[in-house]
Structure 1
Amino acid sequence: MSGPSAIVLLPPRARFGGQRLPPVSARWLGRADHLPKGSASGERMRDWLDILPRGWPAAAVTRQRDAGDAAGSTWMRADPVYIQPDINGARLLAHGESLALTAGDAAAFLPALRPLFGDVGMPIDAPDPARWYLQAPPGSKLPAMASPAEAVGMDVFDHLPEGPDGRRWRALLSEAQVVLHNHPRNAQRQAEGLAPVNSLWFWGAGTLPDHVTARVERALTDDDTLAAFFSLGGASVDGLPQRMPTAADAAGGTTLVDVRHARDLTALDRDWLSPLLAEMAAGRLARITLDFADGHRVRLARPHRWRFWRRPWSNPGLGAGASVEATG
């Protein structure tokens, strides 16, 4: 089926709990095709991005976008974060844009951290105040860790690298935490009502891929990592607007829309799903693929409107083990 199409990246269905879709959208989704279950991890982007060698080397790809010098080295993100100790451990509460870091913050913190990481042969720098990098020699063995976006709100100790190799990184992290805890810049931030930077988050290790091709023509996202991958893959990348552009605005091809941050189903439907469905009903959009972060996927096309025997999709918040395809 030719013509413009849309891919919508959504949060896991469980996030919506008992919220219900409005009747028109519920009818459409009840008549959709259910696709094979995708991965619920970073590998799920493989359907929308062709990356060789396989993997998700986020640090190298974002470094290339930030500084243009990623080739020839192994990179790891060492992003500034705020961790709150509690009775059961420590939780990651803030990272990235939520810390409201400035160039002045980076200029204050990094000189104190450089001796620590320089002594182990991994210089640290920050071409962007929210994205800090470690540069390692080619072939360095670096731990695989979840992104801070995936771990926010969770116990930090569940995400630390394990084993003999992990011991080195845990020791580095502990030393970095001491440096940051004692840094006077944090007192200034707290006096301004801002969260302190009291730890780092190591993640995204890898080298710049040999090949990245976007399988969409345009991506709308506020996720810096996703934007970097799609940009490297040749897609046009823009920040997320307030609501879904029309098919005419999208200028044809396939547009990927990243609304994984959504929590309110009514607002999601009003700003994104209903406008897309209206475009499809009018014949200006050929198909829509909804890609949930729990791996569930459905595809809608205009001819599906004739599947009148199917019941509406009544509860998108059903758990991953439940069936949401009601065919009557």
Structure 2
Amino acid sequence: MSLQLLVPGLLWPHRDAPPGLDHLQLPALSWLLGRARVQATPSSTPEHAFTTALGLGDMGAAVLRRAGEPGAAAPQPGERWLCADPASLRFARDQMLLADASGLELGEPERLAMELALKEVLAPHGEFSLPHPQRGYLRLAAPSEAIFSALDDVAGRPVAFFLPEGDKGLRWGRIINEAQIALHELPFNQSRKSAHRPEANTLWFWGEGVAPAAAINTDVSVFAEGLLAEGCARLGGHSPRGLDQFASHADERAVALSERLDRAALFGDAEAWMAGLEALETAVFEPAMHALRKRRVSELEIIAPERHREGRHYHVTARPWAFWLKPAPLTALLDTAAP
């Protein structure tokens, strides 16, 4: 039996340790790191790493996230989807910067107003839906023929460097402008502007992909945390369990997919990153360590994919007699190649 843990964001993206890391007690993770054979892996997005682990082909973040969206209709085979997320533009030092909608505190009335306005604007290009104030989707009527940048890659950076490219890039730039006009006219955005509060004044497209023709179900148990992870499991023909159930099934052939650390590492939020490590220590690292020690599983893989640099692959085998292997310090998770 084997276990596989996929944890985007496991590596801290700086060579210097965040404050408080030396006081963090994660004995199971340290034990696993100390016994692992470590290999560098090519850069990979979380969605690519997740689909690879479950034997699926690339299908784009929009398809995976939509499949994980609570209460929303899952993508049907052959449908083409695009993330269409509300966002906020603001001027800073003569540059237009983009922020996602997580800090806007938009509620249900704002969601309904945005969905109604944008459905009309985007109708010529597909069917728009906004199941959450921060997450929208466009079921495309035809391929976009454009190249988009992921929202997380653009957030906090000058938006002019990340506008749509490709054969129809200019066309999608015009579509974004039309969406901005519709959002600007919404009463709640006018009130925010008058109060000098950030507005939900643009839409960001990214993550285009096509839903797979059929699920692949295998004999592996899947535990998932996050929309991409849960969507990937469902499209692979699995009924994913939560990570809180992993400890009860750590002696099975299992794959655990967690997005808990991803955004914290991406945006350098040390407090959230360390809190996430503590949660994963209890949920997955401790059960995995005990399963190896008791030889209920023969091997464990921890895969830490990174978007823009090499990731790491940790391979641990059940060797209870290897007394000379000592726990590794948590500084092993630092990116020593960072400037």
TM range (shorter): 0.7 to 0.9
- Worse-matched range after superposition: 205-214 or 294-303: 205-214
Distance 1:61 1:267, change over 3 A: closer
Contact residue 173 and residue 199 of structure 1 kept, 8 A: yes
Worse-matched range after superposition: 22-31 or 187-196: 187-196
Q: Specify the alignment match of 2:156 in structure 1.
A: 153
Aligned length: 311
Contact 2:77 2:211 in 1 (8 A): yes
Show CA shifts across 1:92-130 (max 9, x none). Answer: 33336x655444323212332233323x44342334544
Letter in 2 for 1:283: R
Q: Which residue identity is paired with 1:316? A: A
* Alignment match, 2:53: 48
Cα distance per residue 1:55-104 (max 9 Å; x no partner): 233334444562246445422121112333322633333336x6554443
| 1:174-193 matched pairs, under 5 angstroms | 174-187=177-190
Q: Percent identity?
A: 21
- 1:267 corresponding residue in structure 2: 278
Unaligned runs of 5+ residues in structure 2 are 265-272
Instruction: Give, in whole Å, the separation in 2 of the partners of 1:69 and 1:23.
Output: 39
Change (3 A) 1:270 1:5: closer
Amino acid at match of 1:113: L
The residue number in structure 2 matching 1:104 is: 109
Amino acid at match of 1:219: F
**3-state SS in 2 of match to 1:252:** coil
Q: TM-score, normalised by structure 1?
A: 0.77
- Structure 1 residue aligned with 2:223: 219
Q: Which residue number in structure 2 is paired with residue 301 of structure 1?
A: 317
* 1:7 maps to 2:5: yes
Q: Aligned letter for 2:141?
A: P
Verify the 8 A CA contact 2:250 2:291 in the aligned structure 1. no
Deviation of 1:48 after TM superposition, in Å, equals 0.9
- Cα deviation, 1:242-283, whole Å, max 9, x if unaligned, reads xx842x255733031403346117625743534532443233
Partner of 1:325: none
Q: Map of 1:73-222 to 2, 5 A cutoff?
A: 73-87=79-93, 89-95=95-101, 99-118=104-123, 120-138=124-142, 140-187=143-190, 196-213=199-216, 216-221=220-225
Superposition deviation, residue 184 in structure 1: 0.8
**CA-based RMSD:** 3.6
2: distance between equivalents of 1:107 and 1:63? 18
Provide Cα deviations, 1:113-163, integer angstroms capped at 9, x if missing partner: 233323x4434233454432223224x234332432444333333332125
Q: Amino acid of the residue matched to residue 253 of structure 1? A: R
8 A contact 1:14–1:316 mirrored in 2: no
AA aligned opposite 1:116: V
- Per-residue CA distance 1:20-66 (angstroms, 9 max, x = gap): 57584435413212245143324333431222xx4233334444562
Matched residue type, 2:54: L
Q: Which amino acid aligns with 2:261?
A: R
Once the two structures are superposed, the pairs formed by residues 231-246 of structure 1 within 5 Å of their partners are 231-241=234-244, 245-246=246-247
Cα pair 1:126 1:132 within 8 Å, conserved: yes
Q: 1:256 maps to what in 2? A: 256
Counterpart CA distance in 2 for 1:101 and 1:172 is 23
Change (3 A) 1:285 1:185: farther
Offset at residue 285 of structure 1 (A): 4.3
- SS of the equivalent of 1:125 reads strand
Conservation of the 8 A alpha-carbon contact between 2:146 and 2:166: no
TM-score by length of 2: 0.75
* In 1: Cα distance, 2:321 partner to 2:140 partner: 54
**CA distance 1:187–1:239, shift in 2 (3 Å):** farther
1:271 maps to amino acid: T
After superposition, the Cα gap between the structure-2 partners of 1:257 and 1:69, relative to the gap in structure 1 and judged at 3 Å, is closer
Whole-Å separation in 1 of the counterparts to 2:190 and 2:48? 40
Alpha carbons 1:220, 1:239 under 8 Å: kept: yes
The within-5 A match list for 1:22-41 is: 22=25, 24=27, 25-35=29-39, 37-41=41-45
**Partner of residue 289, structure 1:** 301
Q: Which is further off, 7-16 or 201-210?
A: 7-16
Distance 1:230 1:38, change over 3 A: farther
